Structure 1
Amino acid sequence: MKVGIIGSGEVGQRLGDGFIELGHEVKIGTRDPQKLEAWVEKHSNNRKASSGSFAEAAEFGEDIIAIATLWTGTQSAIEMAGGPASFAGKVVIDVTNPLDYSSTPPRLAVGHTDSAGETVQRLLPDAKVVKAFNTVGNPLMLHPDFPGGRPTMFVCGNDDGAKKTVCDIAFSLGWETVDVGGIEGARLLEPLAMLWIVHYFRTNNGNHAFKLLRK
């Protein structure tokens, strides 16, 4: 598959590593091309990594586009990527969390009756938005190794086929998956991310993930 990633921070680069590991081609979109020189060079042996503008990454992502931006820059990044037409018909993985960094730890800027996931779906009405990979820190996104087995990646979205695609990717990267329903489920997953973040700030350690236990 060809995957475009909107956002060149640690999360976007880590997801790019995972997609390349699974054999996919990845282009990360960025405002600063020099920021990704080391990441592209790291994958130079297989020639599956490249960087470009947000618009170039969105065009490249024929199969999947992941949005991994800071929340404050998400809408502008989507606009710079070409707007809704550039995402139409594609699986869009929304990795964002709507964080307000005016305090420490940060707080949710959107919640209860709305969510970042629903906002992204409204901005991209013809895309198949799936909320995923937002409830864990980027070091554990690929092959998390815990004594209790695979942790749980919760996903939500309105398109069942898109969710299956994302669940298959997550499983290949070491997760079990739980589908919590339509994109309004992001109202639950984003506060769950806040629980992960608060525990990180209290312990100064990001070596934790969630698991749904069944009897």
Structure 2
Amino acid sequence: MNVTVIGTGNMGRGIAHTLARGGHTVTLQDRQLEKAEALAQEVRAAFPGATVQAGTLGEPLQGDVVILATWYTASQDLARQFQTEFAGKVVVDISNPLNARFDGLATAPGTSAAEDLARLLPDSRVVKAFNTTFAGTLVQGQVAGQPLDVLVAGDDAGAKRQVIDLVTSGGLRGIDAGGLTRARQLEGLGLLGITLQGPLGTGFVSAWKLLS
């Protein structure tokens, strides 16, 4: 697939590596072109032959899938600014809407960051994914020899299937977690994973894994 990733921070880096590992065409967009170019160069070096290009925010979107590798409030700002450009696209929300103290969620009861985003983007197909995985583990693709589990939620079955295909082609295990309301539980799980890193001393290189 042809995928645009907006944001070139830690999570943008991890997702870009995952997409390139799966053989997809990746366009990285950032407000600062030099950041996008630096990450594109890194990913191309890691995956020779990968098609990874850089651009600035606001350039035409490439492909049908857009991944917002940005903070909760930044994703909302992007949705308001580029509602028309995002129309008809699969838009992936990866955010964990943490409060200012990083000890709870900033969203109102009975909703989620992904649902808030979907209300701002009525003509897009919003999918929740990657919020329970950490950036460094996405670059590596595994923890302790186990492929990462990526929990995916959305109301549009086709959009969800596209995102799961992106995940699995990158060597990870995509798991259908249900409709978009499941993002409420996924964001709670993301918060729990973040808060456990200090007490457990796992340094953001741990992962949630379903075993049977």
Q: TM-score range by the shorter chain?
A: 0.7 to 0.9
Paired residues for 1:192-211 under 5 Å: 192-204=189-201, 205-211=203-209
* Residues 69-127 of structure 1: per-residue CA shift (max 9 Å, x gap): 111212222344x22x2122222211111122x32x44311154010010111111121
Q: Which stretches in structure 1 are left out of the alignment for 5+ residues?
A: none
- The structural deviation recorded for 1:4 is 0.8
Mean alpha-carbon deviation: is it higher for 152-161 or for 176-185? 176-185
Confirm whether residue 144 of structure 1 aligns to residue 147 of structure 2. no
The 8 Å contact of residues 97 and 106 in structure 2, kept in 1 or not, is answered as yes
Other structure's SS at 1:141 match: helix
Paired residues for 1:29-48 under 5 Å: 29-42=29-42, 43=44, 46=49, 48=51
Q: 1:159 aligns with which of 113, 133, 156?
A: 156
2:57 corresponds to which residue?
A: 54
Amino acid at match of 2:55: G
Q: If the length of structure 1 is used for normalisation, what is the TM-score? A: 0.86
2:131 corresponds to which residue?
A: 134
1:92 corresponds to which residue?
A: 91
- The structural deviation recorded for 1:29 is 1.7
Q: Distance in 2 between matches of 1:11 and 1:50?
A: 17
Other structure's SS at 1:52 match: strand
Q: Which stretches in structure 2 are left out of the alignment for 5+ residues?
A: none
Q: If the length of structure 2 is used for normalisation, what is the TM-score? A: 0.87
Q: Structure 1 pair 53/135, CA: closer, same or farther in 2 (3 Å)?
A: same
Q: Which runs of 4+ in 1 moved over 6 A?
A: none
- The structural deviation recorded for 1:135 is 0.3
- The structural deviation recorded for 1:164 is 1.3
The 8 Å contact of residues 5 and 68 in structure 2, kept in 1 or not, is answered as yes
The 8 Å contact of residues 5 and 16 in structure 2, kept in 1 or not, is answered as yes
Amino acid at match of 1:28: L
Other structure's SS at 1:60 match: coil
How many matched pairs?
207
1:185 corresponds to which residue?
A: 182
Give the % identical residues: 34
1:18 corresponds to which residue?
A: 18
The 8 Å contact of residues 23 and 50 in structure 2, kept in 1 or not, is answered as no
User: Which structure has more RCO (C-alpha within 8 Å, separation ≥ 6)?
Assistant: 2
Q: Structure 1 pair 53/195, CA: closer, same or farther in 2 (3 Å)?
A: same
Paired residues for 1:76-87 under 5 Å: 76-80=77-81, 82-83=82-83, 85-87=84-86
Other structure's SS at 1:62 match: coil
Q: 2:121 aligns with which of 121, 124, 142?
A: 124
Q: Distance in 2 between matches of 1:22 and 1:75?
A: 28
The 8 Å contact of residues 112 and 187 in structure 1, kept in 2 or not, is answered as no
The 8 Å contact of residues 36 and 56 in structure 2, kept in 1 or not, is answered as no
Q: Distance in 1 between matches of 2:186 and 2:135?
A: 16
